[in-house]
Amino acid sequence: MPSTDHTAPTEAPALAALMARGELFAAECPSREVLQHVTSRWGVLVLVALLAGTHRFSDLRRKIGGVSEKMLAQTLQWLEGDGFVLRTQYPVVPPHVDYSLTPMGVEVARQVEGLADWIEGNLGRILSGRRERADALAASPLPGVRAGVRTPA
C-alpha cells in the first residue's frame, strides 16, 4: 500500500522551472515575500549564523556586525513567521530567549550559505570588475557617455 505520509519534505521545483511558469514574476506571488526575507542582507547573515547552532539575541547582534537591534528583531520575526527560525522563550527573570533553525530553516540556510561562500570566494574578481567599470566610466570622453558600454543602435 502506498505511503500517505505528507510530512516528508518534497523536492522543490527548480528556480528556472518556476520562472518559466512565471510565478516568481507575478506581482502577487507569495514566494516574493519569502525570497525577500531570506535573501535580504540581514536574512542571509542570520541564517548563516544560526547554522552554527542556537544563539541568544545579544550573541547574534555581536556576531552580525552592523545590524541594529530593530533590524535584527524584525529579521528574526520574518524568518520565524516563514517557519525558518524557532524562538524559544524560557520563563525566567531576566527573560531568556534562544533562536535556532527549524529543519526547513537548515535547508534554506545551506542554500544561502552556498551563495555567501561563492561571493566571498570570488570577492577579488567582483571588486576588480567594479574598479574596472568605475575607471572606464571616469575615462569616458563625453559627459553622460559610459565607456565600454554598448548603446542600442
The enclosing domain of 93 has a CATH number of 1.10.10.10
In a domain, 144, yes or no: no
In a domain, 132, yes or no: yes
Is residue 55 within 8 A of residue 63, CB to CB? The reply is: yes
The cell numbers describing 32, all together, are 516574493
Q: By CB neighbour count within 10 A (0-12 exposed, 13-18 middle, 19+ buried), where does 42 fall?
A: buried
pTM: 0.75
SS3 content of the chain, % helix, strand, coil (to 5): 55, 10, 35
In a domain, 4, yes or no: no
In a domain, 118, yes or no: yes
Q: Give how many domains the chain has, as a whole number.
A: 1
In degrees and rounded to multiples of 5, residue 71 shows phi and psi of -70, -35
Show pLDDT as tens, one digit a residue, over the chain (153 residues). Answer: 444 445 556 666 666 666 555 577 788 888 888 999 999 999 999 999 999 999 999 999 999 999 999 999 999 999 999 999 999 999 999 889 999 999 999 999 999 999 999 999 999 999 999 999 998 888 877 665 555 555 555
Domain region containing 100: 29-138
